[in-house]
Amino acid sequence: MRKWIALGALLLPISLAGCVSRPVVVYAAPPPPAALADANRQGYNAGVEAAQRDIAEGRRPDADKHPRFRNPPLPPPLIQDYRHGFIAGYDQVIRGGAPGPGY
């Protein structure tokens, strides 16, 4: 009888090991560096100004032709974020909407 109790005591933790739920691990991307957010905001503002100039001067809307879009005043790692912001600001004004809050 003692043999069975000892065997049960030995096998119980092994049999319960598969029943334990594993913790859920969530991997989230870190927030973007503040410089990227600033580059986007700077591009957005430049896009708004460019679109307003195009409208005031009666030019055909084309964000790609603006020097600040083609050659952003930022280092290479920030250029893509600047251009995304530029297009968003430019499109917002061309489509007749006011710039979004926070810009």
Sign for the CA dihedral angle at 50, 51, 52, 58 comes to positive
Enclosing H/E stretch for 100: none
Are 56 and 94 in contact by the 8 Å Cβ rule? The answer is no
Instruction: Supply the pLDDT for residue 26.
Output: 58
Considering the entire predicted model, what is its pTM? 0.63
pLDDT for residue 49: 92
User: What distance, in Å, lies between the first and last C-alpha atoms of the chain?
Assistant: 79
Does residue 27 surpass a pLDDT of 90?
no
* Euclidean distance between CA atoms 64 and 50, whole angstroms: 11
Helix (H, G, I), strand (E, B) or coil at 20: coil
